[in-house]
């Protein structure tokens, strides 16, 4: 009975890890295709990837600026 339960558990865990590996490799391929341009000379950031990086940098700058302004204005309270 123990051997049967052991086999069932191994089958279930192997199936779960196989599904997770498949999902992970699929997401990696999707992100690579969207954000990177691969040519013979090398791999560079795609136009879409560059736009995302720029928007992220602007959002980070705005957030940090607001944090600093709020911190400086709190000195008077």
pLDDT tens-digit map of 17-48: 788 888 889 999 988 888 888 888 888 888 99
Report the pLDDT averaged over residues 7-24: 81
How would residue 52 be classed by pLDDT, with cut points 50, 70 and 90?
very high
* Look-up of token digits 């391929």: 29
Task: List helix spans (H) across the chain.
Answer: 2-35, 47-73
- CA gap 49, 41 in Å, rounded: 18
Q: How many CA atoms lie within 13 A of 48 on its CB side?
A: 7
Please give the Cα distance from 15 to 3 (Å, whole number): 18
Q: What φ, ψ does residue 36 adopt, rounded to 5°?
A: -125, 145
> Highest mean pLDDT range out of 9-18, 23-32, 54-63?
54-63
């Amino acid at each position: 009975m123990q051997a049967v339960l052991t086999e069932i558990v191994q089958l279930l865990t192997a199936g779960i890890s196989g599904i997770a590996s498949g999902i992970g490799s699929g997401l990696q391929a999707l992100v690579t295709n969207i954000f990177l341009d691969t040519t013979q000379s090398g791999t560079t950031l795609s136009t879409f990837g560059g736009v995302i990086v720029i928007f992220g940098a602007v959002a980070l700058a705005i957030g940090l600026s607001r944090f600093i302004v709020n911190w400086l204005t709190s000195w008077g309270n």
